[in-house]
Amino acid sequence: MSIRLSRGTQRGFTLVELVMVIVLMGVIGGMVAVFMKSPIDAYFDSARRAALTDAADSVTRRVARDVRKALSNSIRSAGSQCVEFIPTKTGARYRAEAGGAGDVLDFAAADTSFNMLGRNADLPADQRIAPADLIAVYNLGIPGADAYAADNTSAVTDASGEAGTPVESIITINSNGKLFPLASASHRFQVIPGAEQVVRYVCVGATGTNAQGDGNGVLYRQVLTLPLAAGASCPATVTGAAVMASRVSACSFDYSGSDLQRNALLVMTLGLTERNETVKLQHEVHVSNTP
């Protein structure tokens, strides 16, 4: 048996009804969008500011960590947008008095080796003295005692030898010998890593924003070698350097220190701008210049 529906029981949408529904949905959607736009924009603005703050904070902390490991009296700046220094990987004491199998570091004549108090092998792997590292003794940053001019540095050729009881490491330096100009009152020496003899942070083009509202500048971390003469100004271009931060709109390094001053302060200011949102951080690093 089949059932047939009469015309009176059939239902559907007319074109007019469909158009009315579409119009009403558009009106409601527009009203909702008006109320949702501000919270959505605020969310993206907050996310952008958080990302800029995190980037600026990470960079300033990295610079501070490097500066704290700088060789005493080696921080210098050729302008407000750059700073350079000689990094160190470790430090120790040299034998200053003869005794047993000890080899003292001679300051009266050129010397080719000396004993380090303690064992090099006991140091953490990233702090162990290795061939091509540089030994620096009593750096004052003045003529005659300036590591930048290689006055008081010498390359390590071997650090694997040991002698004496208790065991001391034998540090062998330049085969031609090195006469260090000044002895350390505390018999200390610092070790400059051979792979990073000079570190320079420099901002290039940090002079505001572009048409898109982003910072124009870039902060670079450049690795250089010794000896290195002081520059008259910050470099205008940098090649072969790691990019630490982009979209830099403001950058400055203010170093309040001088030769023979035992305490100094490095003040860093870094501003990052993206789509006209700017975050500016200032970080201070205490510097100990006791050689």
Q: What is the pLDDT of residue 80?
A: 95
Phi, psi values for residue 64, rounded to 5°: -60, -40
- How many whole angstroms separate alpha carbon 226 and alpha carbon 154? 11
Give the residue-averaged pLDDT of 8-29: 78
pLDDT above 70 covers what percent of the chain?
Answer: 94
Q: Is the pLDDT of residue 164 over 90?
A: no
The pair of three-digit structure tokens given for residue 78, joined into one six-digit string: 């050729």
Instruction: Give the least confident one: 76-80, 97-101, 151-155, 168-172.
Output: 97-101
Q: Is the pLDDT of residue 19 over 60?
A: yes
Give the residue-averaged pLDDT of 210-219: 95
For the chain, give every domain's residue range: 53-86+197-288, 90-192
The answer to whether the CB of 194 falls within 8 A of the CB of 133 is: yes
Give the residue-averaged pLDDT of 1-5: 55
Q: What is the pLDDT of residue 42?
A: 77
- How many whole angstroms separate alpha carbon 70 and alpha carbon 112? 25
Q: What is the pLDDT of residue 5?
A: 53
**Residue 107: partners with Cβ closer than 8 Å, 6 or more residues away:** 179, 180, 182, 183
Q: Is the pLDDT of residue 206 over 60?
A: yes
Model confidence at 145, in pLDDT bands (50, 70, 90)?
A: very high
Give the residue-averaged pLDDT of 211-224: 96
Q: Is the pLDDT of residue 28 over 90?
A: no
Instruction: Give the least confident one: 146-150, 201-205, 255-259.
Output: 255-259
Q: What is the pLDDT of residue 1?
A: 52
Model confidence at 14, in pLDDT bands (50, 70, 90)?
A: confident
Model confidence at 251, in pLDDT bands (50, 70, 90)?
A: very high
Using one digit for the tens of pLDDT, what is the confidence trace for 39-59?
Answer: 877 778 888 889 999 999 999
The answer to whether the CB of 259 falls within 8 A of the CB of 274 is: no
Q: What is the mean pLDDT of the chain?
A: 91
Q: Is the pLDDT of residue 289 over 60?
A: yes
Q: What is the pLDDT of residue 91?
A: 96
More confident of the two residues 11 and 95? 95
* Closest by Cα among 236, 233, 198 to 217: 236
Cα 197 to chain centroid distance, Å, stands at 14
Q: What is the pLDDT of residue 192?
A: 98
Give the residue-averaged pLDDT of 126-137: 97
More confident of the two residues 23 and 36? 23
